Amino acid sequence: MARFAANLTFLFTELPMLDRFAAARRAGFDGAEILFPYDLSAKELAAAAQAAGLDFVLLNTPPPNWAGGPRGFAAIPGGEDRFRRDFDRALRFAQVLRARHIHVMAGKGEGPAARATFVDNLRWACARAPHASLTIEPINRADMPGYFLADFDLAAEVIAAVGAPNLGLQFDAYHAHLITGDVAGCWDRHAGLVRHVQIAGAPGRHEPRVGDIDYADFFRRVDAAAYRGWVSAEYVPRTTTEAGLRWLRGTAA
């Protein structure tokens, strides 16, 4: 059975960030991720995770001021210097936090030049941090218009082109549903590349309990694939986080 992590950017938002770790632990999570933790002290975050007994699972590039701005630079021709500076900062944070994965965000782009830039930057990042686990994630363009990596087959091609053992696929079932309409088939095709899983209900990106995605079937497939990584809850609670956690307790039972 996979281990479950709370995305603290989305969950327990009624609490200050440093208090969310303990709340996640009390709720039954074993790990935590934060999308963009760069406005906080890495040492304080690490201490809060350690005090709560949680593993720190994942953070994203790029830092620091992402609100309303670009979501990544790895696939933007001409943005190589910006990407590499941001990656180095993300790597420093990840080292302090002992983060399991760094998600490298592609940003907006299209065409062969964007693909070549993405591959080159990923090769550089994988060589820069050979002991770090890096992931790339297809994101649907309804939620993020113009995002370069919006196709799971393209992600598999990019991973093959980079050819680095420390690069893998981040499989968000919510995005897989909106991109392909077939979460089960998409998982079956790409499970061998998956390093990290995220979940949310569709439509609405709420709790993974009701909606168009059959999570009972999905969790069976994850187990059948012998996946031993993390499954992160990355969703917007309908009310409070605690009120919507029946899905977690039912899975753990």
**Cα 202 to Cα 117, 118, 205, 249, distances in angstroms:** 32, 29, 5, 20
Q: Give the confidence band of 76 by pLDDT, cuts at 50, 70, 90.
A: very high
Structural domain boundaries of the chain?
A: 3-252
pLDDT for position 249: 82
> d(Cα 2, Cα 231) in Å, to the nearest integer?
6
Q: Which of 44, 137, 157, 242 is catalytic?
A: 137
The strand pairing partners of 106, in sequence order, are 72
Task: Judge: domain 3-252, CATH 3.80.30.20.
Answer: no
CA distance 230 to 123: 24
What pLDDT shows up at residue 143? 94
- Please, which pLDDT band fits residue 68 given cuts at 50, 70 and 90? low
Out of 25-29, 115-119, 207-211, 219-223, pick the least confident: 207-211
Cβ atoms of 73 and 31 within 8 Å: the answer is no
Catalytic residue among 44, 207, 234, 242: 234
The arithmetic mean of pLDDT across residues 134-152, rounded, is 97
Task: Please give the share of the chain, as a percent, with pLDDT higher than 70.
Answer: 96
234 is catalytic: yes
- The count of residues in the chain is 253
Residue 66 pLDDT exceeds 90? no
Whether 44 is catalytic is no
Q: What mean pLDDT comes out for the span 43-62?
A: 96
Residues with Cβ within 8 Å of residue 23, at least 6 apart in sequence: 12, 15, 241
Rounded CA separation 5/25 (Å): 9
Provide the mean pLDDT of the chain: 94
Locate tokens 């187990």: which residue?
A: 223
